[in-house]
Structure 1
């Protein structure tokens, strides 16, 4: 609108306000109602008339979305504006359309959230390569197929059921995207949450690798992405859209998990623990006395490349959890990197000290453990805090892998229980020490409760799930299939056609 037009309208607004006040006096309106009209008028004067597009406040209010989560760049926003009326400061609530700068920021949020989701999707390739490298050549195709199906099944299960369970409010149905499909923001938000759900299912595959029936694997992937992960996700993250979770208000401070040390990683780790217990160890993993035997992975360079792909994906996993395009995402990326590096060094030093050799596989698990641990507090932690959290995770993962194998006799081929379950719990607990300005026992208890609830939920439902599969469609491959290799027996393929593959590798 041209300036001279705006000047022409001001007297009309003044006259309109005078008429409203006069009508109010005649109708016997109380003084505070007239003051409210004055406040609203003063607030409206602070904005160009273009922000109201020639509509009254009542007309614009009818266009407000049912929830701020469902708005797009054309939706109006409600805003409280501080104004001075009759010499007194007061607040007026108005609705208006976005400015050009705000629209640009909105589009930046959409773009960044999509890019972050693409990076997290790349973690599927990282998990596939890592798991295949840490296991034997005769099962490489099976590993790849499971990671493919994790994402395919996870996408559909989360679309149909999981997203609704995790984020729908009491009056909103989000099955098949629901109301989110009517907004631009609904799509990047759904995609980002979808890749998180698929990551949880992928974590589990490592703990039961090399001895799981493919049909059994498909069954548990559906349940994890459709029900187990979304339920706990709702408890901790429901308010990110239109729901609310009871853990979010726990003890008045709330259970805090910014990017999923517990919500994603520990849930996946504890599910893997349940699966590994139910399915049992691989043939030949333990001798007659119960001592563990090493079953070397067939391609450690493959595993290292997979680890680096996961590191790259983490730059979407953690900074993307802001879902906003602002400078804070760079800080979060730096803290993620510091924790990963410290975890790698911590694990390398620890395994070197114990076995006199700097083992590459444990070093990879170390930097992964560091990044798992930092997820909870990555948005608020200091440089020193990130360094300590990552370093402790790197040391912890080594002892955890050894302890789980030697003491509990659990066969975890890639160490996912330790990396994701144990170090996810450590990172969640570390928030109480490194993520707050002043230590509080209330915060500590809230984190401990969240960790405990996550373990009981994931391990408990996991045991029920894996036992149900075991006694119905079957969970474990036969001894003959396991010895020959799942590539040939389950898929009729060879990862390395033309190269002889011994049954022991």
Structure 2
């Protein structure tokens, strides 16, 4: 029995589609696992009376994010919906469905980022409402602009400067947007009770360093799915992305180790700062440029977090604005610096475009968050009562503590 060329082509095409689908599914699972990292990082940082709330918030936020992104956000960003029959949806081995799952895990990172900033004093259901609108509307607007060419922003960049805005895995699209949304939410909520004593700032020590470290490790491992698998196909996979992610992580560790003076909280957040910053240019930079990018991010996090906690009334519990907002913005700009061929990069990127695109992302995040959190704050309020905050979110909201009294 002879095999025709068309049959061979069809078999190869089917194998390629199946392989790409599996590849992207594994990436989606790895990024989904990162949400456990977000949860344990927060659990280890907040006080004991707020640990249950930290765990519940991350999982509840993911559920609300999935609904918002499924029905609204994915349509806003990519003009696609899921109202066809199952046979139509599953064509091509269901690659488009797995792509949705993968991008959903990115979208759901927005409220996971916010959660760390607003910990210990936020009401539960108003924050879930905010999650629905930030994931369903605010985030997809910028996501669609950058990753789908919506509203002509990328076309304008290309016509004016010769290059579009480059953000391979979301330094600005995901982390920058999430961090700047978090800053707005933190400002609406104000400082936790007891932070100012006798006119001086008082910092609450992390409740569980092993849990904090576990969260950081989970995030570090999952980040290689976040970055490498942003190629979305086996054919597009790049060892350069993996190497650059590794070197940026190392740069963040070393910089935080030095700048943070051996503080375990800083050391475990340092690699995360480096990984946030490298997302945008991980497919362009030379590994040495990535090392520098990560080191700058690690130092930025330490100094900004220390300044916020000791000198301002911005009570960002996990430091998500410096970690994701500022380091994410730095990553977008760094791609325009170290992505240049003169500095060993692959080129095809403009510093001016990277700067402008980053500012657009920040503007959309801040503007959208002001509307969402401003309206919710007016309608229902965002903050727990003073008594509930004193007792802790675990008992006030969930009626149970993290550990028994036995």
TM-score (norm 1): 0.75
1:389 to 278, 293, 306: 293
1:418/1:194 CA distance change after superposition, 3 Å: same
Question: What does residue 221 of structure 2 align with?
Answer: 312
Greater Cα shift, 329-338 or 262-271: 329-338
Deviations 1:216-239 (A, max 9, x none): 111111111111111110011115
Residue 185 of structure 1 aligns to a residue whose secondary structure is helix
1:148 to 41, 50, 59: 59
Offset of 1:255 from its aligned partner? 0.7
Counterpart CA distance in 1 for 2:183 and 2:219 is: 21
Mapped pair 1:485 → 2:381: no
Larger Rg computed on CA atoms: 1
Alignment check: 8 A CA contact 2:165 2:349 kept: no
Alignment check: 8 A CA contact 1:270 1:459 kept: yes
Q: How many residues get paired?
A: 397
Greater Cα shift, 152-161 or 103-112: 103-112
Question: What does residue 340 of structure 2 align with?
Answer: 436
1:480/1:194 CA distance change after superposition, 3 Å: same
Extract unaligned runs of 5+ from structure 1: 3-47, 54-96, 353-357, 500-505
Offset of 1:404 from its aligned partner? 2.7
Deviations 1:344-365 (A, max 9, x none): 110110121xxxxx10001111
Counterpart CA distance in 1 for 2:348 and 2:19 is: 39
2:307 to 379, 384, 403: 403
Offset of 1:246 from its aligned partner? 1.9
Mapped pair 1:351 → 2:255: no
**Aligned positions of 1:8-407 closer than 5 A:** 50-51=5-6, 98-168=9-79, 173-176=80-83, 180-183=89-92, 184-239=94-149, 246-247=153-154, 249-250=156-157, 251=160, 252-289=162-199, 291-326=200-235, 328-352=237-261, 358-407=262-311
Deviations 1:445-472 (A, max 9, x none): 1111111111111111112211211111
1:158/1:210 CA distance change after superposition, 3 Å: same
Question: What does residue 472 of structure 1 align with?
Answer: 379
Alignment check: 8 A CA contact 1:204 1:416 kept: yes
Deviations 1:275-323 (A, max 9, x none): 000110100112353x321111110110000000001110110011001
Offset of 1:244 from its aligned partner? 7.0
Alignment check: 8 A CA contact 2:64 2:131 kept: yes
Residue 369 of structure 1 aligns to a residue whose secondary structure is helix
Residue 318 of structure 1 aligns to a residue whose secondary structure is helix
Structure (1 or 2) with the greater helix fraction:
2
Alignment check: 8 A CA contact 2:245 2:282 kept: yes
1:226/1:336 CA distance change after superposition, 3 Å: same
Offset of 1:407 from its aligned partner? 4.1
Alignment check: 8 A CA contact 2:340 2:348 kept: no
Deviations 1:345-388 (A, max 9, x none): 10110121xxxxx1000111111000000000111211111111
Offset of 1:109 from its aligned partner? 1.1
Alignment check: 8 A CA contact 1:249 1:255 kept: no
Deviations 1:11-31 (A, max 9, x none): xxxxxxxxxxxxxxxxxxxxx
Offset of 1:399 from its aligned partner? 1.1
Alignment check: 8 A CA contact 1:235 1:248 kept: no
1:177/1:434 CA distance change after superposition, 3 Å: farther
Counterpart CA distance in 2 for 1:347 and 1:247 is: 35
Offset of 1:333 from its aligned partner? 1.9
Offset of 1:182 from its aligned partner? 4.3
Deviations 1:6-63 (A, max 9, x none): xxxxxxxxxxxxxxxxxxxxxxxxxxxxxxxxxxxxxxxxxx9642x7xxxxxxxxxx
CA RMSD of aligned residues (A): 2.2
Alignment check: 8 A CA contact 1:377 1:428 kept: yes
Counterpart CA distance in 1 for 2:84 and 2:360 is: 28
Question: What does residue 36 of structure 1 align with?
Answer: none
1:139/1:387 CA distance change after superposition, 3 Å: same
Question: What does residue 64 of structure 1 align with?
Answer: none
TM-score (norm 2): 0.92
